[in-house]
Structure formats: structure tokens, C-alpha cells
């Protein structure tokens, strides 16, 4: 069963618009960790945030914010006032404690294009 679903394959927005990237996960473990990574056109993977299953507080970092809701198994990512430099593929990922926390299950990614 797919553990991380990113239903939005591609999104295009005009610069300065807000955009939300959806992530839905599936796990039977009670202890797990969720992540967002950014892959810009240059190809490297950049860690953005980690959230553990016991911490449902939303987090804001500059123009980025994350909404974690266990009730809907979702960990959505919002970019406010998007910029061209935000254009990238964004991956949501999950680690389950019961599997030894070594298999980082990635979603298939959402390609965000910010149009100037």
C-alpha cells in the first residue's frame, strides 16, 4: 500500500500567489515522522522540515507553513506570496519507527512552477 500520496502532480501559480501542496500518508505505527524536501532544478534534495507524530502544532518559517492533522492523516505545505525561486519539485516523506526508522517512504512529488 502506498504510504505517502501527493495527488497534485504539477501546479502552476503566478508569482505572489499563495499555494498549498497536499500530502496524505498512511501508517499503522503510532510513532512516525513526516518530512518535506525540496528538489530545485539543479537536482539536489534539500531538507525543509521534520514533524513527529506527537507534535501536531503547525509551524511557520518565513513564507513557508505546514499544517499537520492526524485526524485526516495529512501534512500540507503552504507557500505564501510565492516567488520564482520556489519553483521546484516538493516531496513529502514518512519514516515509521517500527521499521527501524531507516526506510524513508517518499511520495511521488509535486512539481511547482511559479510564473513571473
Nearer to other proteins, 81 or 101 (CB): 101
CB of 57 to other proteins, least distance (A): 18
Phi first, then psi: give them for residue 51, nearest 5 degrees. -135, 130
Nearer to other proteins, 35 or 114 (CB): 35
Spatial separation of the C-alpha atoms in residues 8 and 6, rounded to whole Å: 6
Chain centroid to Cα 79, Å, comes to 11
Binding stretches for other proteins (CB under 8 A): 4, 33, 35, 37, 43-47, 50, 91, 95, 100-104, 106-109
Nearer to other proteins, 13 or 48 (CB): 48
Q: Taking Cα atoms as reference points, which of 110, 24, 15, 36 lies closest to residue 71? A: 24
CB of 42 to other proteins, least distance (A): 8
Which three cell numbers mark 6? 501527493
Amino acid at each position: 500500500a502506498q504510504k505517502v500520496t501527493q495527488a497534485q502532480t504539477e501546479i502552476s501559480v503566478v508569482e505572489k500567489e499563495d499555494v498549498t501542496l497536499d500530502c496524505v500518508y498512511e501508517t499503522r505505527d503510532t510513532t512516525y515522522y513526516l518530512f518535506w524536501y525540496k528538489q530545485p532544478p539543479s537536482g539536489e534534495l534539500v531538507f525543509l522540515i521534520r514533524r513527529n507524530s506527537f507534535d501536531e502544532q503547525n509551524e511557520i518559517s518565513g513564507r513557508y507553513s505546514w499544517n499537520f492533522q492526524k485526524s485526516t492523516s495529512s501534512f500540507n505545505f503552504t507557500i505564501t506570496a510565492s516567488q520564482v525561486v520556489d519553483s521546484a519539485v516538493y516531496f513529502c516523506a514518512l519514516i515509521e519507527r517500527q521499521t527501524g526508522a531507516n526506510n524513508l517512504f517518499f511520495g511521488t512529488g509535486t512539481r511547482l512552477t511559479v510564473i513571473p
